[in-house]
Amino acid sequence: MSFIKRYLTTIVAVIVILAIVTVGMIYSILLLSKKETTKRAFIMVTPLTGGGLYDSETGEELWDPFPFDVDMSNIYLTMGKILAVQEDLDTLMGIIDPLIIGDMENSIFGKLAMDQYGNSINKNIKPSNDLDPAKTDLYYGAMGANKAMMTELSTIYGEKCDVKMFNYDWRLSNAHSADLLEEFIRENGYTEVILASHSMGGVVVSRYLSKSEENRQKVKAFLPFSAPFLGSIDALKYLEDLGGFIQALLSSVGGINYDKTTNTLNIATISIKLNPLLNYLQEFIRSCPSIIQLLPSYEFFESDQYVKDGTPGLTYNGTAITSADELYDFYTTREWAYLRDDKGNILLDSEGKQQLKPYVADLRSFHDSIYVTNSDGEKVLSTTLVDTYYIVGQGQNTLIYYSSNTDQPATLGSNLLGDGVVPLYSQIGGQTIDLVTRENRLRLFNGTHGDTGSWLVIRDTVLSILETLL
């Protein structure tokens, strides 16, 4: 009996050992398989005007508005260096000359011209993602703005994941750019990504996230820097009266000789007549779907800042706009909303109705498209469905009230809950400050919209987040 007992005990022990070894082997294979099939990336998505653009046929770098090594913390030092080098001075004058003489078609802005349907006149313009960063800083966005961040992150995390730029054509629809981001991630084979963005890049990402659960499953985390998820009053101001906005800005900037009477900007011996430039830029931004899509959504005006304040964010001829229908009706009656013929007359359709620009007609649909309806039937912002850390600027005078009147200039109002461009509640997608603070998803900076896009300012915060993720 003792022999049989020892024999059975030995068999059981062998079976247990084999089972443990088999399970261990299966687990190791699964881990190895996951390691082999998981391709990771950190991807930086550029802001409005921040994406590098070039002509794919000629190779000309079309959108780098200041193609020099720029120290944004000391622009005067940068200008001093440029003026001291004849070759750099010649390059600068090549940019400025068409603006001085009003030759807008051959200016830096004219090369990016759009038709009123929201299409680029030059069909060869491409984002700079496929350019070699060793040969041009345009890969890192206009003015190489993200070079310092991407270089340091590549050094720290390059062995753990790819560190990639996603430039996009910031003139076009943010929905189109989101489609290209989806394609970029898929074609590179990334199955796990950390997305970061500055300003309008956050809107692009929010649309990418809303497109599918598959997209959201790939996103390990999202770090938006001052993203206007719900829009910005500044966009409305630009569209309504860019000239007045720029003139007020120039009048308030020290060290610039601006003659309001003749609308002339004088810098050293250079004199620029602003009317041709402002008129051209006004039509340019009115033809960019992306800028139209930055208009405040109805959720913008329903956010906590208005609930607590009790003051309506938008009024028209003294009447508060209090519903989504009223808001989008307001947008579709503005001067810049319509298609026009060469003489400036509004185009009519076959039924005699005034024709809207397609991206104005689709504005409400786009605003709705960054939301997802969950299983409970609740509409939620797509960024709340992934691990999002909101990096937010505040403490700057930021427009939050706009009162439009038919026969007189608009009246504006501001407060310090914002970065000077985007209100705080838009940056956190209409959530309450208490909620995002309680969930440890809010990183506040007392600084401007530009500050939250500066690696010098946000570096420590970004690295502290990435340390927990990579």
Domain limits of the chain?
A: 1-37, 315-364
pLDDT tier at 310 (50, 70, 90 boundaries)?
confident
For tokens 């007020």, what's the residue? 248
Q: How far apart are CA 290 and CA 203, in angstroms?
A: 10
Distance of CA 190 to the CA centre of its chain: 21
Instruction: Provide the sign of the torsion angle of the four alpha carbons 418, 435, 390, 327, taken in this order.
Output: negative
Among 5-9, 129-133, 202-206, 447-451, where is mean pLDDT lowest? 5-9
pLDDT tier at 83 (50, 70, 90 boundaries)?
low
Q: How far apart are CA 341 and CA 344, in angstroms?
A: 5
Among 156-160, 204-208, 408-412, 429-433, where is mean pLDDT lowest? 408-412
Q: What is the pLDDT of residue 72?
A: 45
- List of residues 6+ apart from 404 with CB closer than 8 A: 240, 314, 315, 316, 317, 330, 410
**Cβ atoms of residues 16 and 167 within 8 Å:** no
Q: In the predicted model, is pLDDT for residue 170 greater than 70?
A: yes
**For the residues 363-367, what does the mean pLDDT come to?**
98
Higher pLDDT, 23 or 379: 379
Q: What is the pLDDT of residue 278?
A: 77
Q: What is the pLDDT of residue 207?
A: 98
Kindly report the CA angle at 119 between 115 and 125, in degrees rounded to 5? 115
pLDDT tier at 245 (50, 70, 90 boundaries)?
low
Among 10-24, 98-112, 225-239, 409-423, where is mean pLDDT lowest? 10-24
pLDDT tier at 11 (50, 70, 90 boundaries)?
low
Paired tokens of 123: 């069909």
Q: What is the pLDDT of residue 107?
A: 78
Closest to 392 (Cα-Cα) out of 453, 351, 335: 453
Q: What is the pLDDT of residue 280?
A: 82
**Cβ atoms of residues 292 and 366 within 8 Å:** no
Higher pLDDT, 5 or 452: 452
Q: What is the pLDDT of residue 150?
A: 97
Among 224-228, 292-296, 360-364, 437-441, where is mean pLDDT lowest? 437-441
**For the residues 399-426, what does the mean pLDDT come to?**
93
pLDDT tier at 88 (50, 70, 90 boundaries)?
low
Q: What is the pLDDT of residue 131?
A: 96
pLDDT tier at 110 (50, 70, 90 boundaries)?
confident
Distance of CA 391 to the CA centre of its chain: 13
Average pLDDT, the chain: 86
**How many residues in the chain?**
470
Q: Buried (b) or exposed (e) across 1-16, using 16+ Cβ within 10 A? A: eeeeeeeeeeeeeeee
Q: In the predicted model, is pLDDT for residue 198 greater than 60?
A: yes
Q: How far apart are CA 250 and CA 183, in angstroms?
A: 41
Percent of the chain with pLDDT over 90: 68
pLDDT tier at 73 (50, 70, 90 boundaries)?
very low
pLDDT digits (tens, 9 = 90+) for 19-51: 555 555 555 555 555 445 789 999 999 999 999
pLDDT digits (tens, 9 = 90+) for 312-354: 999 999 999 999 999 999 999 999 999 999 999 999 999 999 9
Q: How far is CA 5 from CA 1, 8, 16, 191, in A?
A: 6, 5, 16, 53
pLDDT tier at 270 (50, 70, 90 boundaries)?
low
Instruction: Provide the sign of the torsion angle of the four alpha carbons 419, 423, 426, 432, taken in this order.
Output: positive
pTM, 2 dp: 0.86
Q: What is the pLDDT of residue 75?
A: 47
| Partner residues linked to 314 by β-bridges | 402
Percent of the chain with pLDDT over 70: 77
Neighbours of 40 (CB within 10 A): 17
Q: How far apart are CA 281 and CA 104, in angstroms?
A: 9
Q: In the predicted model, is pLDDT for residue 186 greater than 80?
A: yes
Q: What is the pLDDT of residue 74?
A: 46
**For the residues 426-433, what does the mean pLDDT come to?**
95
